[in-house]
Structure 1
Amino acid sequence: MDPRTSAQDVMRCDLCETAVVQMHCDTCLVNLCKACVGEHMISDESKDHRVIKFQARKSTPLYPGCTSHNKQQCTMYCNQCDIPVCIKCIASDQHLGHKISEILKVVDEKKVKINKERTELYETIYPTYQDIASDVQNRMSQLEKEYGDLSTAITKHGEDWHREIDKLVKKLKAEVDEMKNTQLQTLQKHLDEINKTMSDIKDEINSADMAIDTNDLSKLFSVTSSVNIYRNLPNKLAPSLPRFIPGKIQGKELCKLFGTLSSSSLTSDKYAYSMKTTQKSPEAGSSPPVKQLLDQPETVTTINTGYQCLNSVACLSDEEIWTSGGDSTMKLFSINQGSLLKSIRTKSGYEPCNIAVTKSGDLVYTEYGYRTVNIVKNEKIEEVIRLQNWIPTGVCSTSSGDLLVIMENDDYTQTKVVCYSDSTEKQTIQFDDKGKPLYSSGLCYITENRNLDICVSDIGAKAVVVVNQAGKLRFRYTGHTPAPKNKPFNPRGITTDSQSHILTADDYNHCVHIIDQDGQFLRYIDCGLSQPRGLCTDTNDNLFVAQDGNRQVKKIKYLQ
């Protein structure tokens, strides 16, 4: 076996092809033995050969060559032009005033981004496609079975027809035999009568012969003839056979009689699949037990908040809720006791626009005037997101731990939903497939459904706008009539429950609308509500309603 090509042999020098590799040129990506290093260095003196130990290969960055300045390596990166640049490029007027970064820092950031995308591909997207492929394979197997059942049904129906046709053939042949036997019996009787007449005629002939030959005159005169009788010949019986008149076999008519196939179809539903999630959470776990809506929702408890106006409520746990209203204070209440447990003031001193609780139990709030999204950890406020030219309004935490933020631009003409992982923007949802805006301008509330749909209470449009995880529009809900107060639908706070119901506060009609995950109206919750604004549900599907009319939070049981 050639030692240079043996799979078990060590790597050999790329120049002499015999000696064991000991060195590596990071510039030319060539493996070398120590004896060949000198030869390689002088083989192309135009290059700055970086020869290192073989074990340390790839440890030295291989900088890209500059396209504008020959023999210069690009060790920096122009963020404005989004290209690597060399020292001479930076000194030129071409990048004057541009933000320049070290290329290795940009590379590290790029690697982090690539690693995140790789993780998403590996842990989320690829497993999702595996599930989809498995689903398609199962559908194909099911299709084979169902088409087999269809062919069997047709064969069975054909056999039924054959049995009925055999019965009909047997019946017709029996009728033919009966007709034949009847006619044969009649003809046989007729034949017997003719044979008897023929015998009588022979007797007459014999008597005539004897009379002619006798000398006894008395015998001669005793002969009487029946010739006149025999001259009257018998009737001729001509049997008339039945005719078999076969029914015309016409293809279309026969198909109608036998049975026809309806047309097949293959529908395409772009909302049928959703991205697989690896998060172990109530939203992404196994299917919850089915709960029925109560005929009469009931109020469990009421909490006085002390705000001058009350806008938002968020569940920290089944025992505690956060609230926010018309001042800078966010208050934590005990649900069972109704007592104030903690107060936290916003960093700016302005009232929060909206609040939410993350998967880890931290409070998140948006500040309209400061264009920031902030998180409260251990009673310390950290700025997570700061926007430019956009103002954050609604916020919620997703089952995967990301943040969904609704924001409108400075001139209040555009609104969009942006998904953030920590402070990194992952996805923007703003337009439908036809390029039209999904949302109107103005204050909005947002939540994520158990099926990963993104649900927005669009106050400006007087509608609930629901898109799937990919940002494709699923439906719009614009209210149901008759409303309790016969007022126009005016959506405010929005939340969901374990049954994927979507619940929306309607402060004009002093009620909460319950719709299913496909936008079908199910029920109103009234319970004496007064201008309901914020909504949330706990892990037991109890509903909490922040009422601006009386500044109270009402806990309502609406599911069995």
Structure 2
Amino acid sequence: MHPRRSAQEVLLCDLCETVPLQSHCELCNINLCKACVGEHLSDLSKDHKVVPFLRRKATPNYPKCPDHADKHCEIYCEKCDIPVCSTCVTSGKHKGHEISDILEKLSAKTESLQKDLKELETRIYPRYEIMVSNVETEKAELERNYGKLTTDADEQGEVLHREITAIVNQRKSAITEMKTKHLDALNKNTYEITQKMAELKQIMSDLKSILKSNEVSLTSTYKSRNSEFRTLPPKVRVTLPSFSPQKINKDQLNEMFGSLPPLSINTEHGDTMKSAEAVSSPPVKPLLDEPRVTATIDTGYKQLHSVSCLSEDQVWTCGDNKTMKLFNLQSKLLTSIKTKSGNPPQDIAVTRDGDLVYTDYIDNTINLIKNKQIQTVITLQGWSPRSVCCTAGNDLLVIMVSDDWKQSKVVRYSGSTEKQSIQFDDQGRPLYSSGYYTLYSSGYIYKYLSENRNLDICVADRSARAVVVVNQSGKLRFRYTGHPSNTEQSFNPRGITTDSQSHILTADFNNYRIHILDQDGQFLRYIHCDLERPRGLCVDIRDNLFVAEHDTAKVKKIQYL
């Protein structure tokens, strides 16, 4: 903007810059006052088109031709891929080249720019924001972990101090005991000697009395005991102990204390995001007309609640007791682990590292099982965790219900750090129904969730009888309330999962089947396979569906793609 102009001032003529403008030349794209119009039209080299300013068109600002100063580039040379003027085309170096209308080219370029802008705004820039957020989270985790390392070092030092103090006290006690025994031996020896000495004193006194008395009888009856005392009593010899300290080997001490691995800082190559076209066109796996059961696993629970794939032939399960079980496809029990609290787990999920996560809705904790060791990673206040799933980014998504059963929300965690909370739509209305469901006891899960391949968050909201899908940012995309065909009872969604095709699969508990939807919520078809009250769902890396049947406590593996 001209330095003499502002939003509150009258717009001035571009030529004289002193008088308010009245007209506009659409060819030259300049504003003119009444006096300057005549001067401008005096240039007969151009076919000027002067109109009242308010009737001007939004004309493009054509660039000036670098080879012909009085011309604007209003034509596009396809061969050279640049704008050119009419003189360049008729007599210049672009003569004979294929040309096109620059406005058509501009329109195509504008459309391309709009697509680029949309991709930058909706896909690329948000990923950078997530990366920054993740780095900040990692920094917080780094502070916490390094603090823990320092604490661990202090605790190890205290342990070694206690051990050394115990050893020192043990040695001092042994020294005191040895000293006491030596003193006792010397005291006993002293007592025996003094007893002999007393006896000798008595003999010497008796002899002196005999010699003074001149009594013949005493002298004649005297018996000498000198030979008895010529052998001196035994003398106790004490050998003092010596302390032989070992030379401290610093290397051994360091090894005993514990070690740290070498510092490792790895820079991973940044992921290359696929274009929007590539994302929307994954390799196609068509749906089978007749899905089929390929394996059945008998879990032994009275009621089976959840199933989560560890691999193509191993699944974790949980049901109506405190034990989580790992089975193979032949129903062989491979591992069983009991919850830390002794409460039945509410839901389970397998992380990208192959560890097991479970929620405990009674003590409000989310727990991680690694190498059969249970670690409580999150303890909630005022909220109860229900369903859980692990995302492609190795976060945890958790459905939770408030303690008063009036609110529900989805929370994203990175480790134990909360990154996102999803509860309301753009109008401030709850996305999910309240936690309370009058027909069943409070121990049941009322909502189930899964992350789709396009990063949508899909929730099967049983109380609302709907599947609620929001995008990665938590903005509502759609609600699916069931398909009208062949429905004997109301839609009753339980478990939910997604596959490599971005299909959404949800278990219709009371209608004994699975609904398959596309990523936009359009119904595709049902899976029946003689299912009995399907509840928990999961999909393995080859898109095999595992269905947990609530009443039979069996897991069915189904091929449907």
TM-score normalised by L of structure 1: 0.51
In the alignment, which residue of structure 2 is the partner of 1:403? 396
2:300 to 300, 306, 309: 306
Q: Which amino acid aligns with 1:318?
A: E
For the Cα contact (< 8 Å) 1:279–1:399, is it kept in 2? no
The residue number in structure 2 matching 1:524 is: 526
Residues in 1 aligned to 2:544 and 2:356: alpha-carbon distance in whole angstroms: 20
Residue in 2 that maps onto 1:319: 313
Matched residue, 1:393: 386
How many residues are aligned here? 302
Q: Is the 8 A contact 2:539 2:545 kept in 1?
A: yes
Residue 478 of structure 1 aligns with which residue? 481
For residue 365 of structure 1, the aligned residue among 358, 368, 384 is 358
Structure 1 counterpart of 2:471, from 468, 479, 482: 468
* 1:505 corresponds to which of 498, 504, 507: 507
- Please list, as runs of the form range in 1=range in 2, the aligned pairs for 1:325-474 lying within 5 A after superposition: 325-335=319-329, 337-442=330-435, 443-474=446-477
- Listed one character per residue, the Cα deviations across residues 54-76 of structure 1 (whole Å, up to 9, x for unaligned) are xxxxxxxxxxxxxxxxxxxxxxx
Matched residue, 2:489:
487
Q: Is the 8 A contact 2:359 2:365 kept in 1?
A: yes
Structure possessing the higher radius of gyration over alpha carbons = 1
Specify whether residues 549 and 271 from structure 1 end up closer, same or farther in structure 2 by C-alpha distance, changes over 3 A only. farther
Separation in structure 1 between the aligned mates of residue 472 and residue 375 of structure 2, nearest angstrom: 28
Which of 284, 290, 299 does residue 290 from structure 1 map onto? Answer: 284
After superposition, where does 1:84-163 map in structure 2 within 5 Å? 148=104
Cα–Cα, structure 1 residues 558 and 313, in superposed 2: closer, same or farther, change >3 Å?
A: same
Unaligned runs of 5+ in 1: 1-143, 153-263
Could you tell me how far apart the structure 1 residues matched to 2:104 and 2:120 are? 28
Q: In structure 1, give the amino acid aligned to 2:480.
A: Y
TM-score by length of 2: 0.51
Q: Give the structure 2 partner of residue 536 of structure 1.
A: 538
When residues 279 and 396 of structure 1 are mapped into structure 2, their CA distance, relative to the original with a 3 A threshold, is: farther
Q: CA deviation at 1:494?
A: 0.4
CA 1:303–1:419: 2 relative to 1, 3 Å: same
* Aligned residue identity for 2:334: L
- Who is 2:549 aligned against? 547
547-556 or 530-539: which moved more?
Answer: 547-556
CA–CA distance in structure 2, aligned partners of residues 146 and 490 of structure 1: 58
Matches of 2:315 and 2:101, distance apart in 1: 53
Counterpart CA distance in 1 for 2:103 and 2:433 is 49
Deviation at 1:268, TM superposition (A): 8.3
Unaligned stretches of 5+ in structure 2?
A: 1-99, 109-113, 132-269, 436-445
Give the residue type in structure 1 aligned to 2:406: T
Q: For residues 422-473 of structure 1, what are the alpha-carbon distances to aligned partners after superposition, in whole Å with 9 as ceiling and x for unaligned? A: 0011111000000000011232111100000011111111111100010000
CA contact (8 A) 1:483 1:509 kept: no
Aligned equivalent of 1:107: none
Partners of 2:502 and 2:300 lie apart in 1 by 32
Q: Pairwise CA RMSD of aligned residues?
A: 3.1
Mapping for residues 176-325 of structure 1, pairs under 5 Å: 273=123, 275-276=126-127, 288-325=282-319
**Contact 2:493–2:508 (CA<8 Å) still a contact in 1?**
yes
Name the counterpart of 2:95. none
Q: Is the 8 A contact 2:302 2:551 kept in 1?
A: no
Q: Deviations over 1:316-354 (max 9, x none)?
A: 11121000000001000012x221111001011111111
Q: Does the 8 Å contact 1:279/1:400 carry over to 2? A: no
- Letter of the structure 1 residue corresponding to residue 485 of structure 2: P
Q: 1:9-40 CA deviation, whole Å, 9 max, x = no partner?
A: xxxxxxxxxxxxxxxxxxxxxxxxxxxxxxxx
Letter in 2 for 1:360: D
Q: Distance in 2 between matches of 1:270 and 1:477?
A: 30
Cα pair 1:373 1:386 within 8 Å, conserved: yes
**Partner of residue 166, structure 1:** none
Aligned-partner residue type, residue 379 of structure 1: K
